[in-house]
Homo-oligomer: A and B are copies of this chain.
Amino acid sequence: MNEKEALRTSDEYREALKKMQPSIIKHQLLQNPYEDEDIQKGMNVVALSYDLARDEKYRDMMTVTSPFTGKVINRFNHISLTREDMRKKQQMIHTLAKEVFCAQRCVGGDALHTLFVGTYKVDKSNNFATDYHERFKKYLKYIQENDISPCGAVTDGKGDRSLAPSEQHEKDSYLHIVRETEEGIYVSGIKIPITMSLYSEEIIVIPGLQYNKDNADCAVAFAVPADTEGVEIYVLGPEIKSLKGKMSPTHGKKYLNKEGMIVFNNVFVPKERVFLCGEFRFAATFANIFANLHRFAYTACKPAVYENMTGAAMLISEYNGTKGEYFLSNNSEKVFEIYKTAITVRGLCKAAIEDAQETESGAMMPDPIFANMGKYISSENFHKAISTLQDMAGGLPPNLPYETLLENKDLRDRMEKLLTRKKGVSIEDQYALNELIRVMVASNEGGLLQFGSKHGGGNKEAEKVAIYGNSLRAMNDCKNCIQRMSQEYK
C-alpha cells in the first residue's frame, strides 16, 4: 500500500487472516482453519475482490477515493454518495458475480452502509445526545485504512418462529445484550447463516428484525474482531469432498460460498465499537436499511447468474446439436425465458438507482420498491430458469462416467462413443460443460445457490412486505382514484 492507496494484495489479506486465532469449528476446533480446503475456496472469492482492485482494467470500477481517509479504497468499503457511485457498484457486483456467482463482500459492505445511515438517524432523533455516528465513522476509517473485508451478521437463529425472542425456550436463539458496564456490553446468542464469517477479520453485527420494548436487549449493533474471546464460528453446509477432478468446474473446485454460524458466548464489546444499544425503536430502522441495500445488491448480482444460465443453455444446445427448431418447441424461446429475468432485474436495479434518495447522513439509498421488486422477481423465476436449463441440457449432466476414464487409453474410445457430439468439440470440452451445468443446477453447490435465491437477503414474504409497506400510500391513491371514477355519476 502506498500513501495514496489503501489497497492490500490478496496475499496480504490471506496473511492477515493467518495471524488471527479465531475459534472455527468443523467436526472440532480447527487448528489451522485457513488451511482448510473448503474455507480456502471461500477465501479465493474474497481474494478476487482484492486482485481486481489492483488490476488497471478494473480499477475505475473497483476503487474510489474515500472522502473520510482521502485514499483510494476498495469500493466494497465505500459508502455510495452519488448515483454514479451506485452505477459503478452495480457494475462491480455484476462483474464479480459472473465469475463466482456470489461476490460475498456485499453483506459486509451493506452493513457498513447501514450503520452509516442508521447511526445518524439515532443520533439525530436523540438531538445528538448520542454519538453513535462519530463512533462508527472512526470504525469505518479503520476498515478503509486497513482494507479489511468485514462480514455482516444480520440474521439471528430465531428459534420457534411463532414466538418472540423473550418467549423462546432457548434465549440464545436471538443475539442479545446480557449486561452493560461502563466499558461496554456483553452479548450472547447466535447469528446464522453468515456469509464470509469463516474468513473475515471483522464481524459487524446489526439487528435483523424489529423489536418491541420487551425485546429491547436484542436491539444491538456492534463490531468485533473475528478472534474475540467468546466468539465461535461453525462451518456449515454439506461436506464437499468431490469436485476435485481435472474438469471439475472452478465454481465448486476453486470458489465456494461457505457459510458460517457465529455463536457469541458472553462476548465483551468495548463502547467505541457499540453502534446501537437497546434503542429498540431503531432496530427496524437498521434492519430495513440493510434489507433495502442488500436487495439492491441482489438486483446487481442476480442478472449475472441468469446470464450464466443463459450462456450454458446456448452452449450446450450448440454442443448437442439442438440449436434449431423442434416440432412443438423452439429452443430460442426457451433461452429467452431464462434471459428475460436477467434483463428485468437489471432494469429494476437501474430504476432503483434512478429513483434513489439521498439520506440526511449524505449516503444514498436505492429506491426500496424497485430494489425489493428486483430481488422478488429474481427469486420468483429462479427455479423456472433452472428447470428450463435442465430441460435443454439433456440427460447427461447427472449421468457422466468417471472423469479419469477419459485418460485411460484402453477405454477412451468408449468415452468417445458417449461424448462425441458436435464435430470439433473435444470430448473433454463436452464433459466439462456437462459437469459445469450439473454443479450449477443439480448439485450440493447448486442447492446452496437455490436456497440463497429464496432466503438470501430475506425471503419473498419479507420483500412483499417491504414493497407493500413502501407502496401503501400509492395503492390507496389507486383505490381513491377508482372510487372517484365510480362516483362520477353523482
Contact = CB atoms under 8 A, between A and B. Distances in A.
Interface in A320-347: 320-330, 332-333, 335-336, 339-340, 343-344, 346-347
Contacts of A474: 307
Given A170-B416, A249-B485, A386-B450, 8 more contacts: A340-B376, A350-B351, A354-B354, A391-B459, A398-B447, A436-B486, A442-B447, A446-B447
A451 B382 CA distance: 16
Nearest to A447: B442
A461 interface: yes
Interface string A418-431: 10111100001100
Contacts of A93: none
Interface string A370-412: 1001101100001110110011001101111110110010010
B398 A448 contact: yes
B329 A418 contact: no
A387 B395 contact: no
B454 A401 contact: no
Interface in A258-292: 259, 261, 263
Contacts of A160: 320-321, 420-423
Interface in A348-370: 348, 350-355, 369-370
A238 to B, nearest CB: 6
Interface in A437-480: 438, 441-444, 446-448, 450-451, 454-456, 459-461, 464-465, 467-468, 471, 474-480
A16 interface: no
B464 A336 contact: yes
A173 B413 CA distance: 11
Interface of A: 25-28, 98, 155, 157, 159-163, 168-170, 172-173, 189-190, 192-193, 232, 234-239, 241-242, 246-251, 259, 261, 263, 307-308, 310-312, 314-315, 318, 320-330, 332-333, 335-336, 339-340, 343-344, 346-348, 350-355, 369-370, 373-374, 376-377, 382-384, 386-387, 390-391, 394-395, 397-402, 404-405, 408, 411, 414, 416-418, 420-423, 428-429, 432-433, 436, 438, 441-444, 446-448, 450-451, 454-456, 459-461, 464-465, 467-468, 471, 474-483, 485-489
Nearest to A342: B478
A264 B465 CA distance: 46
Q: Is the interface of A mostly helix, strand, loop or mixed?
A: helix
A159 B328 contact: no
Contacts of A192: 399, 418
A486 to B, nearest CB: 4
Contact of A394 (B246, B455, B475): B455
A368 to B, nearest CB: 11
A79 B398 CA distance: 32
A155 B418 CA distance: 12
A31 to B, nearest CB: 16
A262 to B, nearest CB: 11
A471 B339 CA distance: 10
Contacts of A429: 486-487
B237 A27 contact: no
Contacts of A471: 339, 343
A414 B354 contact: no
A235 B347 contact: no
| 4 nearest A-B pairs in the assembled complex, by CB-CB distance | A442-B447, A311-B478, A311-B482, A347-B351
Given A436-B482, A478-B307, A481-B98, A344 B354 contact: no
Contacts of A433: 482-483, 486
A307 B485 CA distance: 13
Contacts of A193: 395, 399
Given A405-B25, A455-B394, A489-B247, A442 B432 contact: no
